[in-house]
Amino acid sequence: MFIELLERVGSRIEKQDTFWRKSLSPVLRLAITLCYLVTGDSYKTLSYGFRVAHNTISLIIPKTCKAITAEYLKDVLACRTMPEQWKEHIAVTCPPNGGSHHYDYKGFHSIVLLALVDTDYKFLNVDVGTNVCSSDTGIFSTTALREALEINTLGLPEPVPLHGDDTPVSFSVIGDDAFALRSDSQ
């Protein structure tokens, strides 16, 4: 898989050698990025393992992620343009030894994605892979996001008035009717 990924994105992340320095190879750039994505290690920790300065790693990882996204965008996230395409289901194969854990009530294998997005459609929090037998509320109740909301450690701003009003309004997380209506005091 590493070699296949390298073949697809290698030319996008390759840099030219200069008179002053030899560039880091696409192999090393990809390895650093994948290690970061898998382990979540800090740039400092990765710098010791790969013998690359942490400030260089801070440039490599975002650029490599953008290259991967650009390379796979049309394959993985192709936007649907026809009504028939929107009706298609994505077939998920049963994970090895998955049994019925990922078998849903519609007769398909599926994986639950619970996400929080902002008003610009940017993902702020994602929980993926929970057993499909759980309800949305049950899944949410086990997330770090729910805990942070309950103990007020997200750092949400204080309530502010909406445009054209003087009554302060709290910042809110909005979900569908599967989620109970609660205030921050509950």
Write out pLDDT tens, residues 67-119: 998 898 877 666 677 888 777 766 677 767 767 777 777 777 777 788 888 88
Kind of pairing between the strands at 123-130 and 112-117: antiparallel
Residue 15 scores a pLDDT above 60: yes
pLDDT higher for 184 or 160? 160
CB 144 within 8 A of CB 124: no
The domain in which residue 142 lies consists of: 89-186
As for how many domains the chain has, the answer is 2
Euclidean distance between CA atoms 101 and 111, whole angstroms: 9
**pLDDT-based confidence at 173, cuts 50/70/90?**
confident
Same structural domain for residues 26 and 114?
no
Residue 114: per-residue pLDDT = 82
* Residue burial 65-92, b: 16+ Cβ < 10 Å; e: rest: eebbeebeeeeeeeeeeeeeeeeeeeee
Same structural domain for residues 121 and 66?
no
Residue 132: per-residue pLDDT = 62
Closest CA to 64 of 113, 12, 104: 12
Residue 78: per-residue pLDDT = 67
φ, ψ of residue 169 to 5 degrees: the values are: -125, 135
Same structural domain for residues 114 and 170?
yes
Look-up of token digits 């049963």: 94
Return the DSSP state at 119. T
Same structural domain for residues 114 and 182?
yes
Domain ends where: 76, 105, 127?
Answer: 76
Q: What is the pLDDT of residues 22-46, one digit of tens each?
A: 999 999 999 999 999 988 889 999 9
Residue 184 scores a pLDDT above 60: no
Q: Identify whether 25 is part of a domain.
A: yes
Euclidean distance between CA atoms 105 and 133, whole angstroms: 8
Q: Identify whether 82 is part of a domain.
A: no
pLDDT higher for 18 or 118? 18
Closest CA to 106 of 85, 128, 83, 89: 89
Q: Identify whether 81 is part of a domain.
A: no
Q: Identify whether 64 is part of a domain.
A: yes
Q: Identify whether 83 is part of a domain.
A: no
Q: Identify whether 41 is part of a domain.
A: yes
**Terminal Cα-to-Cα distance of the chain (whole angstroms):** 47
Return the top range by mean pLDDT from 11-20, 121-130, 174-183. 11-20
Q: What is the pLDDT of residues 138-165, one digit of tens each?
A: 888 888 888 888 888 888 888 899 888 9
Same structural domain for residues 107 and 186?
yes
Same structural domain for residues 124 and 182?
yes
Same structural domain for residues 27 and 67?
yes
Looking from the CA of 60 toward its CB, the CA atoms found within 13 Å total: 28
Residue 33: per-residue pLDDT = 95
Residue 59: per-residue pLDDT = 95
Same structural domain for residues 18 and 110?
no
pLDDT higher for 146 or 57? 57
Residue 113: per-residue pLDDT = 80
Residue 131: per-residue pLDDT = 64
